[in-house]
A and B are shown apart, each in its own frame.
Chain A
Amino acid sequence: MPIIKQHTIQTVDVDERLQPRDFAGLTAELAADNSTARRWAARDLAEFPEAAGILVERLKREEDTSVREAILTTLARLGDPAAVAGLVECLRSEDASLRNEVIEAMKELPDEVAPIMSELLEDHDPDVRIFAVNILESLCHPQVEAWLISVIEKDAHVNVCATALDLLSEVGTLASRPALQQLKARFADEPYIGFTVDLAIKRIDEN
């Protein structure tokens, strides 16, 4: 029978972990030509609290998706202020897929992101404000609805409001009702806003 049993699992292929696994070695490896080596360096750097800075620098230049994912997982695991600040920086990237990956990583860090949320929601760049609302989607924080209400009350940009509105249609309570009605009046010529406000209010009133 040609199905053969393997009695021992293969040992780790050593050539993808060439450099010593100390901080200097891993930093060097993070710039290796081989993407597997870079990915392993990014993963092993999770053991080093000081790694956030060099990981963020690499993230901005890194083109390989698998390395980027490893860096983001490590940053999410580190979760220190330096990691969070680095992630925020990447929200401003021109690269749409990097931004989306960063949003996902930030969703994993509710406690670390919550303190800077108000600031992000008032950023001068509407895209960053949209991404901040995207992050709110899975932020487990008692203030989520209040943040969303303040966005739809104040933000001048229709798409920032639209993003907040999408989320309010799911988490809105009676507290959102007046702001929702105001929003509909403010963007009276936007059918999407009208449609979604009606939906959100219907859901609130059914409860």
Chain B
Amino acid sequence: MTEITISEEDFRKFREYFYRKTGIQFEASKRYFVDKRLVERIEATDSGHFRNYFMMLRFDAKGDELQTLVNLMTVNETYFFREEYQFQCLVNSMLGEIVRRKKDDSPIRIWSVPSSSGEEPYSIAIYLLEHWPGIEKWDVEIISSDIDTDIITRARRGHYSPRSVQHLPPRLLQKYFVPCVGGYQISDDLRDAVEFTRVNLMEAADVRAYRGFDVIFCRNLLIYYDDMSRRQAAETFFDALNPGGFICLGHSESMSRISSLFRVRKFPEAIVYQKPLGDL
């Protein structure tokens, strides 16, 4: 077998295409990393060389190969306080605006999807308790959903490895966790504070009941969806949000590849997306 090589123009062509589809931009310094993964996929798909592979990638109607590549090119790891700047944005900026707009004292509602094994919704709960003075006055509901029932069971149980909690300050680890075999378990108080549900974002019947949210965290999920599914998910979130409600996406995701339903909002801590206030 001859060695598969990626030429300079192949790399550029691929970089342009990947950027257009995902918003992820590889610097020239990433060349080695990108080439290596491309060669891996060219071999795995028996494409022989870049040209065939690129055509297959580009004209694959279902977008499966693109999703495989996204998986290879991104790190999808979940741990406590991942992308913490968004939680800072929540407590320092978004919640203040939400509270100012509220006409009654109904609870603030936050939806975290996918729940995965629970690190994100529990991080939100800890962040609110530790860093948001408004928690004295306002009730907050945190609902977290996933398509996978096994992982929901794990999230409810709340057992975590030392690696998963390594970004937590020791004080918080002590305050909200109990040491257990192989790691830590989240405290009963927090386990009781988050509601976990099973949801398939693509099922109209599943999502119809999700309404009246003020903030949605949907990080590192839509990037793995095809165009049509992304649009559908964006519509689901639009329906689930109150006017003026916010969506946070993962750091390598951009609404510019997903939907035009939301406005870009810049806060000091982060860029987030907002459902227009006008839609009442």
Q: Are A and B direct contacts in the complex by CB distance below 8 Å?
A: yes
- CB-defined contacts of B7 to chain A, threshold 8 Å: 206-207
Please tell me which stretch of B135-143, B160-168, B264-272 contacts chain A, meaning at least 4 of its Cβ atoms lie within 8 angstroms of it.
B135-143
Assess A12 versus B208: contact at CB under 8 Å? Given A76-B228, A170-B13: yes
For A11, A64, A101, A207, the residue with the greatest tally of chain B CB atoms inside 10 Å of its CB is A207
Complex: A2 Cα to B61 Cα, angstroms: 48
B228 engages A207 (CB within 8 Å): no
* B51 interfacial contact with A, CB 8 Å: yes
* B27 interfacial contact with A, CB 8 Å: no
- CB-defined contacts of B60 to chain A, threshold 8 Å: 140
Distance from B142 Cβ to chain A, minimum over Cβ atoms (Å): 6
- CB-defined contacts of A43 to chain B, threshold 8 Å: 204, 235
Closest to B191 in A: A5
Distance from A9 Cβ to chain B, minimum over Cβ atoms (Å): 4
B59 engages A140 (CB within 8 Å): yes
* B261 interfacial contact with A, CB 8 Å: yes
Count class of interface residues, chain B: 35 or more
A10 engages B129 (CB within 8 Å): no
Q: Using a CB–CB distance below 8 Å, which chain A residues touch chain B?
A: 1-7, 9-13, 34-36, 43, 64-66, 69-70, 73, 76, 101, 107-108, 110, 138, 140-141, 144, 169-171, 173, 202-203, 206-207
Given contacts A2-B139, A13-B211, A138-B227, list 12 more A-B pairs with CB under 8 A: A1-B129, A3-B128, A6-B143, A36-B279, A69-B235, A69-B260, A76-B228, A110-B61, A170-B13, A170-B58, A203-B13, A206-B9
Listed by A's residue number, 12 A-B pairs whose Cβ atoms lie within 8 Å are: A3-B128, A3-B129, A3-B140, A6-B107, A9-B210, A13-B212, A69-B259, A101-B260, A110-B61, A206-B8, A207-B10, A207-B51
